[in-house]
Structure 1
């Protein structure tokens, strides 16, 4: 199982020393006076054992475990410790040729730092932690790294990579069983039949209902609104909007809904009921929410588009009215001097205006007279 999560190269990296940055170097590979006293040569330790012990002492809080090949520790870290202890760096090359020495030193380091080996109680707590995280995340690599962080924070020495991955796999399987148990009360015979019908080709629409629900509207046309309303009616008919999945963590619901939308009906149909029905339940509930949001969004877009068209039309009307007003004002400026000129007889006013301004222009001005209201549609 481990090789399905990590490649062989990745597994080797997880078992050994990674690269170290400056912050880690200062934080983990700085010896306190108490640390130096713990490594003290007065205890009969050779220079190589002192340097090897120092590497283990600093590595355990950094990685949560100590790689077997202690001599392969980052050179910068070894140089820092060797300088502090005044021991030649080359002494580390011959450290740990005797496996028991490394084991004994790690035991001493763990006692000094108050770290614990991963025994029954610690593993039980780890399993509980992993189950809680597996209910939120299904990625085995993420769960592995979360487990490593948990062990470090609990000061528990990390087990081997394969053993830890086995516990990750067990937690994922248990999360699947726990998920089913939390939604089992919703799975009546009728509900399971309705969920299974999502995976069957529906002659009325030409595809499965699962595929149909997964295709959102791409534009705000009347046909798109009609299609989304049809989906909403269908989902409400299945009581998708009333499904209470609050017993599942939000992250678990999102994960299951994503799986349901990513897979085609055939792979989903082949899954055992304990895995298939929780997925379909979350797809149904999430679709009811998403389609309602789409319907509201489409109506909002339609109203906004209509409002925009009305606003543009109003601007055009106002612009035309302004232009007509300017023309009529210019005409009035020509008419008024004739009307107020007392030297012009009343009988001559009409003929003078018609001949001076022209009937064509007068008729055009009359036709431009517009109603006072502004159209809104």
Structure 2
């Protein structure tokens, strides 16, 4: 039936035919006979029967089916088989004259070498064997390929490819129903009704709720954050069982999720009920996780913007006052020189000051200096309070909608967030004196603790800043998140591990008992060494020989066609040429990482970023400043030094 076809005609040939360009390595792998096999083959009296018998045995090995009457054997394969029997390969034409002999030989091969004919019993066994694989993937090529490989391994003669396809199709269909059942078995009638409504445009809306839920998150701002949380709470209100996803293989879950993310509501409506609900459940639960990640990511970006703007404002303000500060410094330098000279000459200090400027002007200049002066530990945190209202546009919803958990070291931050959450609910403005402040770093302390009270604004901003840092470091995680989840969630639960150990179902492809494992590997090694030794003795090991008591292995030829090199050069010529420093400057415009490179003594930032980035590049590739200067147009070692990026 056409509906049960999984492969194209070209794909079927891949499984049933010997490749036209089969490698010598594969020929040796599939068509080298052991001494016992050669003994059975040579029991045929006539040369062409020996050769035909050997070809039949070879076809049952690979591709795993019966050699058809009149089928032409690839020349390279035929010559290799004939060389082992020391026969002329052209005599194979004589073997095709009598079909009875072929059938007799086939029966004898089955009896002597353990090949089995495909039947109903084998069909059921393979169906049971393939089911776990089909639960993880529904790709036709993968399913049929797994069946073919298993039949070759079990020495089952592969039937018509249509039979194999039908078996794979039926198992895939059964696996899909099992997966759908696992995803939907806990759904109530109300939940099914709610899922169906997602695909229908309601009278007061322009699009279906499914389309609304799938809208992209947008830029990081409070408005988009609140929209994200609204969609997240809509999904949470459906009360879908999140645990059902853990019972589904990740590959199958990914497929269902992609279908739910891309399919139109009309297409989903046409699917059968079981599959439609399964797709929606998988997509909605996975999408809710993504929404959590998007929302926390937005918070991180908005906090970063908040600090960056305050820092820039702080820098701009200092730069605007720079001229006036410089004038005052120069003035007081002159006053200082006058005072030093007056002391050395035993003159009056007041007259020395008045020799520089009038006393009244001196008094006013001191007042002006007080206005221009910054605290000894001044930074941009003092400007954050002006942006507190921006945080309040979304942070109450952040604390309300998400559950934060932490390691023991970060528990004070969680307690502080809970205090702020309770203040949001009650409408209180004053932080309780008993509130935990152990998370407040010294830099924040003077802003948070003011006398005997705790500043509400700075307490909240400090807690949110520490939340951001904790999320980045992994010390704090978010319930329902994938990107910001607890590290322990990545690991196998101890109960599950103990269950696997006791039931001997550890999902690895080797024996988990060391003694059994080492015995199996030793046996395999001995078998392979024996095979290699026999092939070496008969000079049949491909690309390997012994000369002067030395093992010589022919180097592998380049598998990449020469045309690819020319194609690569053409593609390379299409790419725009750009200097590495220009690329780094562009990256710096996104990240602002060069602001952290300050002069060792003065603390000032480097004014010429190109010079700084050239120096970093020189150090990163071990080129050195001198050689980088020699290799760069317009650059010199002196420029590096003047820019403050020399040896210091």
Contact 1:16 1:67 in 2 (8 A): no
Shift of 1:242: 4.0
**Cα distance 1:85–1:255, how it changes in 2: closer, same or farther (>3 A)?**
same
Shift of 1:324: 6.7
1:369 aligns with 2:352: no
Aligned residues: 373
| Structure-1 separation of matches of 2:10 and 2:350 | 111
1:109 aligns with 2:112: no
Shift of 1:32: 2.1
Q: Which deviations, in whole Å up to 9, do the C-alpha atoms of 1:262-283 show, x marking residues without a partner?
A: 2111111111212211111111
**Cα distance 1:149–1:13, how it changes in 2: closer, same or farther (>3 A)?**
closer
Contact 1:15 1:67 in 2 (8 A): no
Shift of 1:235: 0.8
What pairs with 1:164-179 in structure 2 (closer than 5 Å)?
164-179=164-179
2:37 aligned residue (28, 35, 40):
35
**Cα distance 1:278–1:132, how it changes in 2: closer, same or farther (>3 A)?**
same
Moved more, 123-132 or 303-312: 303-312
Moved more, 219-228 or 180-189: 180-189
What pairs with 1:211-230 in structure 2 (closer than 5 Å)?
211-230=211-230
Moved more, 7-16 or 224-233: 7-16
| Structure-1 separation of matches of 2:327 and 2:103 | 103
| Structure-2 separation of matches of 1:329 and 1:187 | 76
**Cα distance 1:287–1:82, how it changes in 2: closer, same or farther (>3 A)?**
same
Q: Which deviations, in whole Å up to 9, do the C-alpha atoms of 1:18-46 show, x marking residues without a partner?
A: 23222211112222222211111x433x3
Aligned to 2:357: 354
- Which has more helix, going by share of residues? 1
| Structure-1 separation of matches of 2:84 and 2:156 | 28
Aligned to 2:266: 266
Aligned to 1:8: 9
Aligned to 1:75: 75
Shift of 1:152: 1.8
**Cα distance 1:180–1:355, how it changes in 2: closer, same or farther (>3 A)?**
closer
| Structure-1 separation of matches of 2:47 and 2:36 | 18
What pairs with 1:79-158 in structure 2 (closer than 5 Å)?
79-158=79-158
Aligned to 2:448: none
| Structure-2 separation of matches of 1:178 and 1:200 | 27
**Cα distance 1:47–1:271, how it changes in 2: closer, same or farther (>3 A)?**
same
Contact 2:55 2:78 in 1 (8 A): yes
Superposed CA RMSD in Å reads: 3.1
Shift of 1:211: 1.9
Aligned to 2:231: 231
**Cα distance 1:314–1:69, how it changes in 2: closer, same or farther (>3 A)?**
farther
SS in 1 for 2:247: coil
Contact 1:257 1:279 in 2 (8 A): yes
| Structure-2 separation of matches of 1:70 and 1:292 | 64
Aligned to 1:300: 300
Shift of 1:185: 2.9
What pairs with 1:324-339 in structure 2 (closer than 5 Å)?
328-339=328-339
SS in 2 for 1:341: helix
**Cα distance 1:310–1:38, how it changes in 2: closer, same or farther (>3 A)?**
farther
1:256 aligns with 2:261: no
**Cα distance 1:270–1:349, how it changes in 2: closer, same or farther (>3 A)?**
same
1:160 aligns with 2:160: yes
**Cα distance 1:198–1:91, how it changes in 2: closer, same or farther (>3 A)?**
same
TM-score by structure 2 length?
0.52
Aligned to 1:181: 181
With CA pairs under 8 Å and 6+ residues apart, which has the higher RCO, 1 or 2?
1
Contact 1:52 1:71 in 2 (8 A): no
**Cα distance 1:314–1:271, how it changes in 2: closer, same or farther (>3 A)?**
same
Q: Which deviations, in whole Å up to 9, do the C-alpha atoms of 1:226-265 show, x marking residues without a partner?
A: 2211111101111247453333333222222222222111
SS in 2 for 1:5: coil
**Cα distance 1:223–1:139, how it changes in 2: closer, same or farther (>3 A)?**
same
| Structure-2 separation of matches of 1:252 and 1:246 | 11
| Structure-2 separation of matches of 1:8 and 1:283 | 34
| Structure-2 separation of matches of 1:35 and 1:12 | 28
Aligned to 1:24: 26
- Note the residue ranges of structure 2 that are not aligned, 5 or more in a row: 385-648
| Structure-2 separation of matches of 1:99 and 1:307 | 86
| Structure-1 separation of matches of 2:232 and 2:77 | 62
| Structure-1 separation of matches of 2:350 and 2:251 | 92
- Note the residue ranges of structure 1 that are not aligned, 5 or more in a row: none
Shift of 1:79: 0.8
SS in 1 for 2:306: helix
TM-score by structure 1 length?
0.86
| Structure-1 separation of matches of 2:186 and 2:127 | 28
SS in 2 for 1:106: helix
